[in-house]
Structure 1
């Protein structure tokens, strides 16, 4: 903008300078010419007056010197140079120069004009006698008969004629100079008042292009420029609000992506990773943020997944498939490759979506296994009931001993069937979070003693010692019935799987802000490879012995769900042939006493 201002200033300077020179030249010439004309007319009038005074006073050229005295007197009264010339060009009288030293004037233009018949002959030139620039006027001098006997001439310095004009021209030059200076100052002010706001608008626009939307136009100039600046400010405000909205939307989108349960990865048209979310890192068990800008082939080691991505690039269509990823543990993921328009025209980016369905497939398998196991477990008592019923109907009713034996067996199987159905219903409610908690502050020892009272007879049959160990009373907030069922299941299993003369004890204590209840026995123990499955429904380490012990295979599953409902966790430690311990950790303060599991 400064360069433009210099150009405008230079343009106006040249334009006004040229105009001033032309104006000065024309005006000065006009003034000089008018002064010359005016002074010439005055000189001619004086000459005619002088002519009338001397005309007819002499008769011949030889008598012309008689006029010298009269002309001398006249020259004393006027400042103009008076010259008397005969018809041959000889100077008879000159008021300013000795006539004897003056050359012949026959060739002078004004002299010739008079000889040719002009009433007045005029001319301006440098005088050869006085060496100054003069204006000459000449008239014929006649005798009484009207015959031309000589020429009378008046001359005046030109600079004297235009003396006032020179003053006017000087004033004109001063005026033009002042006007030129004022024009320069006004042009500078005008260009500055226009240029600075435009420069500021340019600065604001440049900052806006750099996404700095806080900058505003603040100068004051002409209404049109201020209107443009205000428009730029409105644009800046609009861009700032839009950018804030875009940032908020981008933040919301990133928060949404980062909190999705689906792994998200964005690939550009060059198959390079441009964005990943935390779930993608969890699924692939690798920090992928350092892989941004690298090819996806450095991340995905699955041939099936890479093949699916390549198919999406080739066909530019959505691809979907369920793929097993072999990382540390096998993971089953539902893969979707979605093409989306890229930032550049005619480019396509691709979103890789991985949804970890490993747990879903595991639960589906658990559900399938549960149905199969439940059917198998239910079939045994049902088959027994059906078989004994058919036998009785076929004629065994008549044998009272057989009848009583069969009815006892049928009662036992129906009781086992009823217990199994109750356990299944309870497990279903626990899974669906439909069990209401009635939390209260209790001492753990009280519940353990209640359990021992229930199992005392069963333990005495096997001569198993039941004991409680604690250093101090253990108090906690918990649902009484659920905790009683947990301990009852664990102590009951310990009694069932501990040989005669064994020991089953319950240890009570604290661990930080948790109550710890540990059920320990010296029974048969659980093999290491089986320990990870003991909490599965209907899973039995020794199926025959479990059924003989009257178990349904659902006890430990129920225990696990009950402990989790109480915001705790359970740990298993066992060694084959040496015994087993189940360690339960429950919070001392329950977080929500009004909690109802739905």
Structure 2
């Protein structure tokens, strides 16, 4: 019969080995799934990039030689095999093989899926390369017409090698941990099997006393000799550690309570009957105080109730998104919430954890992003449509008339200039919004504004507009990015000249108002409708006067609607603001206000 020490050691070792085996299997499976997922994402990205790169050639119905040369250049320096397949399954180009020698691919599973309009995936043996490959195919469509299929492939051997490396690392770590744990188990088993009778009496005394009696307990047990004294010392140390552990657990529980209380997400624990047993302050702010009451009674949300029931019934995590109405008498509007209900096993009456995450700002940002994409698409489509119309007219015979051809080429040039301006302003706005660092230095305001006025003097003269600069006698200095500040003022001057009729005036002036420097650009143009004023600093917003144009401005390319947005972001980057005042028929005044904090005193 094995000794108690051996049985304890073997039991500990077996449990640890089993745990390490399970952990290793889980880790291996997780890493394998992650590895395959990343590979699929990379293949999909490569396929989409290749499809977009080949789209012009496919749209132009390039011949097989041209297309094959392009695909081979695309696949140089890569382990990927790129194939272009016609809608009938014929191979038009291949980066690794002669397309003329390849069979029709219409029957390949990944190609069938791509022909159906989805992304096709397959892992199979290639008859051409005589090895296992992973394939991913994407359709290339143009105006709902299938141009071709672009497929990428990579050897499965590379994937298997990566998985083998992960498996070896996990198994080696598990084996080393098991050996270490086995040795530790043997040591623990030897300590446990020492004089059991005295240890039992010591344990009974410890069970009948609190932690403060541990030194007395150690003295009583030590009477049996050196070995028992060592055991008593270990026992006393264990009691002390237990006391520290209990204190640490209490402290961690307090920290957990504080963490839950500080969470910005609403957290609720519910029992099987849907009664709220715990909620943190964020949850109170979202649905009101609900502890000890049914969730439906306070939240008044059938979506939440259905979510909790589904999690309890199916025993899995469930997530939904919905508009949550605020508590009664709350001044706040409804908010969009992402709610997640997770079953709790062994929660002692806490059966479901409900997490409420406020995604109102996320949805607002998504709406803003969609609007921005729509606006950019519209702004790009307009000049492109004009260019296309001119090209079609020239192709129909107008190019034979030099006068007409010159006029039409001028229109194309104007539309291209508009596209270039749009792209430049988008890039400027993106750099400013991303927080690009300003080159801050001591700036002489007279020099900055003087340079702006000089830059637009010729434009004002051509438009028949008087442009003037009016500054106080004292020199004004401030710390700012001179280039950005000049760009902002220049945008305002450009707009003022553009929308002021011949004979009008544009005046640039500045003043120090307490701790604020104000730069004004005033014009005598047609003015802005009061309904447009709150929105003129939005991206792509163009007021009615800009759409119609003033007398001298008719016939020019309309603005992009980005100039004032750039002014606003430049002002904000300097810690300031921009505003506008306007009266229809009398003109407008735009004002950039910048803080003077930290500015050196003005020179006499």
* TM-score of the pair, normalised by structure 2: 0.51
Question: Given the alignment of the two structures, is residue 437 of structure 1 paired with residue 438 of structure 2, yes or no?
Answer: yes
Residue 240 of structure 2 is aligned with which of 217, 237, 240? 237
| Correspondence for 1:333 | 337
Q: Is the 8 A contact 1:534 1:541 kept in 2?
A: yes
Q: Is the 8 A contact 1:523 1:580 kept in 2?
A: no
Q: Is the 8 A contact 1:319 1:338 kept in 2?
A: yes
Residue 223 of structure 1 is aligned with which of 220, 225, 228? 220
What is the 5 A alignment of 1:107-118? none
What is the 5 A alignment of 1:128-527? 205=210, 215=212, 217=214, 223-224=220-221, 234=237, 237-247=240-250, 249-250=252-253, 253=256, 257=260, 262-267=265-270, 271-272=275-276, 274-278=278-282, 284=286, 296-297=295-296, 299-313=298-312, 316-327=315-326, 328-341=332-345, 343-344=347-348, 347-433=349-435, 435-460=436-461, 461=463, 463=465, 466-468=468-470, 473-498=475-500, 501-509=504-512, 512=515, 516-517=518-519, 519=521, 526=528
| Correspondence for 1:538 | 540
Residue 560 of structure 2 is aligned with which of 552, 564, 573? 552
Compare CA radii of gyration and give the structure with the larger one: 1
Unaligned residue ranges in structure 2 (runs of 5+): 1-201, 224-228, 327-331, 550-554, 600-604
Q: How far is 1:276 from its partner? A: 1.8
Unaligned residue ranges in structure 1 (runs of 5+): 1-196, 209-214, 591-598
CA distance in 2 between counterparts of 1:218 and 1:304 reads 60
CA distance in 2 between counterparts of 1:307 and 1:325 reads 14
Structure 2 SS opposite 1:551: coil
CA distance in 1 between counterparts of 2:583 and 2:343 reads 56
CA 1:553–1:258: 2 relative to 1, 3 Å: farther
Structure 2 SS opposite 1:507: strand
Structure 1 SS opposite 2:337: strand
Q: How far is 1:299 from its partner? A: 4.7
CA distance in 1 between counterparts of 2:514 and 2:208 reads 68
What whole-Å deviation, never above 9, does each CA across 1:466-517 have from its counterpart, x for those lacking one?
Answer: 44456965433332222222222233334434556355444343665x6554
CA distance in 1 between counterparts of 2:582 and 2:325 reads 31
CA 1:587–1:224: 2 relative to 1, 3 Å: farther
What is the 5 A alignment of 1:39-50? none
What whole-Å deviation, never above 9, does each CA across 1:364-402 have from its counterpart, x for those lacking one?
Answer: 333333333223222222232333334344444454443
CA distance in 2 between counterparts of 1:306 and 1:471 reads 71
* TM-score of the pair, normalised by structure 1: 0.52
CA distance in 2 between counterparts of 1:454 and 1:326 reads 55
Q: How far is 1:323 from its partner? A: 0.6
Q: Is the 8 A contact 1:568 1:587 kept in 2?
A: no
Structure 2 SS opposite 1:552: coil
CA 1:481–1:341: 2 relative to 1, 3 Å: same
| Correspondence for 2:13 | none
Q: Is the 8 A contact 2:317 2:341 kept in 1?
A: yes
Query: Which 10-residue stretch deviates more, 447-456 or 248-257?
Result: 248-257
CA distance in 1 between counterparts of 2:564 and 2:533 reads 12
CA distance in 1 between counterparts of 2:247 and 2:574 reads 43
CA 1:262–1:220: 2 relative to 1, 3 Å: closer
CA distance in 1 between counterparts of 2:458 and 2:581 reads 26
Q: Is the 8 A contact 1:574 1:581 kept in 2?
A: yes
Q: How far is 1:524 from its partner? A: 5.1
Q: Name the Cα RMSD after superposition.
A: 4.3
Structure 2 SS opposite 1:348: coil
CA 1:524–1:343: 2 relative to 1, 3 Å: farther
Q: Is the 8 A contact 1:504 1:522 kept in 2?
A: no
Q: Is the 8 A contact 2:311 2:317 kept in 1?
A: yes
Q: Is the 8 A contact 1:440 1:477 kept in 2?
A: yes
Aligned length, in residue pairs: 376
CA 1:489–1:340: 2 relative to 1, 3 Å: farther
CA distance in 1 between counterparts of 2:298 and 2:514 reads 43
CA 1:573–1:391: 2 relative to 1, 3 Å: closer
Q: Is the 8 A contact 1:472 1:509 kept in 2?
A: no
CA distance in 2 between counterparts of 1:471 and 1:266 reads 70
CA distance in 2 between counterparts of 1:551 and 1:432 reads 23
What whole-Å deviation, never above 9, does each CA across 1:103-131 have from its counterpart, x for those lacking one?
Answer: xxxxxxxxxxxxxxxxxxxxxxxxxxxxx
Q: Structure 1 stretches (4+) deviating beyond 6 angstroms?
A: 197-203, 225-232
CA 1:281–1:447: 2 relative to 1, 3 Å: farther
Q: How far is 1:553 from its partner? A: 1.6
CA 1:318–1:276: 2 relative to 1, 3 Å: same
CA distance in 2 between counterparts of 1:430 and 1:422 reads 12
